Amino acid sequence: MVVTERLIIRTNGNNHVVDLTGPVAEAVARSGLRSGIVTVFVPGSTAGLTTMEFESGAVEDLQRWFEEAIPATREYRHNLRWGDQNGHSHLRASLIGPSLTVPFQDHRLLLGTWQQIVLVDFDIRPRRREIIVQIIGE
């Protein structure tokens, strides 16, 4: 059994971290499936998905790390070719990846207590993101 849903998420861009755990858990509950996997996927090449303890300190640490390891301010070939300003956004997104797979059992995501599913939007402007939540199970 496969159930495909979409979440519409409005972000501020610029490393905005959005907690998707609630909506993903609700999609799993709505599916009626007891156990299986949920694949969360962000279409687009300037955002990524991972898990973290979603508290403001850890969020700021993540944002700062990306600013330092892949700075917005250096020269990127992508920007030179296309007149864009978001070369760093592309690079950060490729590194963290667009896809996350989380198992569930008895209708419940098997996350840790302090582990949330997050979208990180690396683009340089506010974006309306359509997130795919696809549930496969029985």
Place of tokens 């506010």: 126
Task: Output the smallest distance, CB 92 to a copy of itself, in A.
Answer: 10
Q: 1 or 26, CB closer to a copy of itself?
A: 1
Give residues in contact with a copy of itself (CB under 8 A): 1-2, 4, 35-37, 39, 41, 43-45, 50-53, 55-58, 60-62, 64-65, 69-70, 76-82, 87, 90-91, 93-103, 105, 110-112, 114-115, 132, 134, 136-138
If the CB atoms of residues 23 and 137 are measured against a copy of itself, the closer one turns out to be 137
**The Cα angle at residue 128 between residues 127 and 134, in degrees rounded to 5:** 125
CB of 121 to a copy of itself, least distance (A): 13
CB of 117 to a copy of itself, least distance (A): 10
Residue 11, Cα to own-chain centre: how many angstroms?
11
